[in-house]
Amino acid sequence: MDISIVIPLYNEEESLPELTAWIRRVMIDHHFTYEIILVDDGSNDSSWRVIQELKQQHVEIIGIKFRRNYGKSAALNVGFNAAEGEVVITMDADLQDSPDEIPELYNRVKNQGADLVSGWKEKRFDPLTKTIPTKLFNAATRSMSGIYNLHDFNCGLKAYRKDVVKSIEVYGEMHRYIPVLAKWAGFRNIQEQVVQHYPRKYGTTKFGAGRFIKGFLDLLSIFFVGKFGKRPMHFFGTIGVLSFMIGFFITCYLIFDKLMSIANGTAYRNVTDQPLFYLSLVAILIGTQLFLTGFLAELLARSSSDRNKYHIEKII
């Protein structure tokens, strides 16, 4: 099969018939063999019934339904597991992304060696309250991930080599960072393609302002896990030791200072009267705690089931 199109959806009943008909048109025009994997993320409108009806006339449709709403990342993950096409396309269900982009995305992966092609909505039809924070978010992700050629990490329209989606695991709200996950899994040919973007035709956006705070926290955890996930002690241990040493040297200085004063017979203050004393106390306590956190994290990392999971290629 050439293409699997994975579409996560939550309460998108009005868009689905139009979207699937449009995809079918494009697929037939270009003679692709394909499947459309519609992942219903626990919708409480009649999306699932619409999918069942569409399936009657359109055999390429595969429907998967969550019993409750788990989020876009979970929906993508399940869709990725089910996908069988050589190239996997993801797109939003709300008709903001155009199926007309699919042939060019496919071509880039199939014939130009791309592992992942991310859409870039150069001209966006979203409110300013969304586009400005998005710019900041993308700049932060670019500099932290080292993927400098992407303008828009979170575009729903993307194409992947099948290997890529089978090697990464999207969970929590990590769908914003799939290119980063792919890079860490060792897929380096990450490209971008300018795509058309349309205003939302039906329904409303499913992500509120909270997306930016959550997105930022996810950014921090993804980088922590990516960099230190397999060796947490290197992170906690380093700053723990540093903090401990600072406390230790201050303590030495305080003792030395007092002994010198006693020896010289000059006036001296109680150790507990000095701000430095409290600083050293805090530094030593924090240092020890970080160290212990490092040990605990290390134990967790050792017992995790994917501690020896590597992304490999093999010829036999």
Smallest gap from Cβ 53 to ligand UDP, in A, equals 18
- Of residues 96, 134, 193, 243, which one binds ligand UDP by CB under 6 A? 96
Q: Which residue has the tokens 């050439």?
A: 2
Q: Is 9 in the site for ligand UDP (CB under 6 A)?
A: yes
What tokens does 284 get?
């030593």
Q: How far lies 243's CA from each of 130, 293, 297, 316, in Å?
A: 40, 14, 18, 51
- Of residues 5, 12, 105, 297, which one binds ligand UDP by CB under 6 A? 12
Q: Is 277 in the site for ligand UDP (CB under 6 A)?
A: no
Q: Is 156 in the site for ligand UDP (CB under 6 A)?
A: yes
Smallest gap from Cβ 78 to ligand UDP, in A, equals 11
Rg (CA), the chain: 26
Q: What's the distance, CA 89 to chain centroid?
A: 17
Question: Which is nearest to 201 in space by CA: 291, 108, 79, 97?
Answer: 97
DSSP state of 175: G
Q: How far lies 286's CA from each of 224, 247, 277, in Å?
A: 20, 9, 14
Q: Is 94 in the site for ligand UDP (CB under 6 A)?
A: yes
CA pseudo-torsion sign 99, 195, 40, 182: positive
Count CB atoms within 10 A of the CB of residue 20.
24
**What's the distance, Cα to Cα, between the start and end of the chain in Å?**
24
Count residues contacting ligand UDP (CB under 6 A)? 17
Smallest gap from Cβ 96 to ligand UDP, in A, equals 6
The piece of 69-77, 245-253, 266-274, 277-285 that touches ligand UDP (CB under 6 A) is: 69-77
Q: Is 10 in the site for ligand UDP (CB under 6 A)?
A: yes
Site string for Mg ion, 77-106 (x = CB under 5 A): ---------------x-x-x----------
Question: Which is nearest to 168 in space by CA: 236, 116, 216?
Answer: 116
By a kind-dependent CB cut-off of 5 to 8 A, residue 152 interacts, out of Mg ion, ligand UDP, none, with: none
By a kind-dependent CB cut-off of 5 to 8 A, residue 10 interacts, out of ligand UDP, Mg ion, none, with: ligand UDP
Taking CB under 6 A as the criterion, which residues in 251-270 touch ligand UDP?
none
Binding site for Mg ion (CB under 5 A): 92, 94, 96
Binding site for ligand UDP (CB under 6 A): 8-10, 12, 41, 69, 71-72, 75, 92-94, 96, 156, 205-207
